[in-house]
Amino acid sequence: NRKHRLAYDVERVVQEHLTYVREEISDGWDLIHQEGEMKVYRREVEENGIVVDPLKIFHSMKGVTGHEICQYFWDYQYRMEWETTLDSTKIIEVLDPDTVIFFQMHKRVWPAAQRDSCFWSHIRCISNSEEDQPTWLVVNYTTPHHLAPIKSPHVRLVANVALICETIINEPPLNIQDIKRENIECKLTYVAFVNPGGWVPSAALRSVAKREYPRFLKRFTSYVLEQTRDKPILF
């Protein structure tokens, strides 16, 4: 059912991510970083000389639900508290209660020109079968917008990013209200297809990505654990 002008795009991109997230890590993906439960994979891909390496991160952490992780990732009011690579972020349009359009200025990464991004950001709960917990996901997908004009010297990033989370309840007690945070665990998959939107030295971009993605996800997940520690569990 058409709710807003981008409803079909959102549906298509969400279904694509749901299809690929289950795909096993096949050959062609290199494990570039491993830290505790976090495993970072990358494929080396260039499109007319520009590095557009897809990135896939698997991580799991105790004490938080997939709903909590997705909520803090999607909700703009927390973004500047965990996102250290942004100069600014703002909502320029609300399409529905689960879909907004952001405009972001990314911190400049020398020697590249400063990047900005404009994407729709959608959060969704997919309740599969009854017995186990639902899957929560957030997708950030580049879209043009009249309130986000592309202005030189800034270069518009092209991004298709998804955060897909499952919640595991270990040794479930008889009734749900007895579940404690040490009994829950979130298994997340983060995928990022980022095209820098203009030429960046390949080696420089690859080393920035290799350093920044693990740092970014570690900082984000630690932030959510901190924020939810003493709060009631949001399933």
Ligand X SMILES: O=S(=O)(CCO)c1ccc(-c2ccc(C3CCCC3)c([C@@H]3C[C@@H]3c3ccccn3)c2)cc1
Shortest CB 14 distance to ligand X, Å:
15
Name the β-bridge partners of 91.
Answer: 102
Q: By three-state DSSP, how is residue 5 classified?
A: coil
- For ligand X, the closer CB: 154 or 184: 154
- For ligand X, the closer CB: 148 or 194: 194
Residues at the interface with ligand X (CB under 6 A): 83, 85-86, 104, 106, 109, 112, 115, 117, 140, 157, 159, 161, 192, 194, 196, 200, 208-209, 212-213, 216
Supply 79's token pair: 């973004």
Shortest CB 229 distance to ligand X, Å:
23
Name the β-bridge partners of 33.
Answer: 40
- For ligand X, the closer CB: 101 or 209: 209
Number of Cβ within 10 Å of residue 87's Cβ equals 12
Cα(42)–Cα(192) distance, integer angstroms: 10
Cα(95)–Cα(114) distance, integer angstroms: 28
- For ligand X, the closer CB: 86 or 234: 86
Shortest CB 71 distance to ligand X, Å:
14
- For ligand X, the closer CB: 86 or 125: 86
Shortest CB 21 distance to ligand X, Å:
15
Shortest CB 234 distance to ligand X, Å:
21
Helices vs. strands in the chain: H and E counts, helices first: 4, 12
CA distances, 141 to each of 56, 125, 183 (Å): 16, 18, 33
Shortest CB 197 distance to ligand X, Å:
8
Q: Which DSSP symbol is given to 27?
A: T
- For ligand X, the closer CB: 181 or 218: 218
Q: Nearest Cα to 206, choosing from 38, 31, 53, 41? A: 53
Q: CB–CB of 72/224 below 8 Å?
A: yes
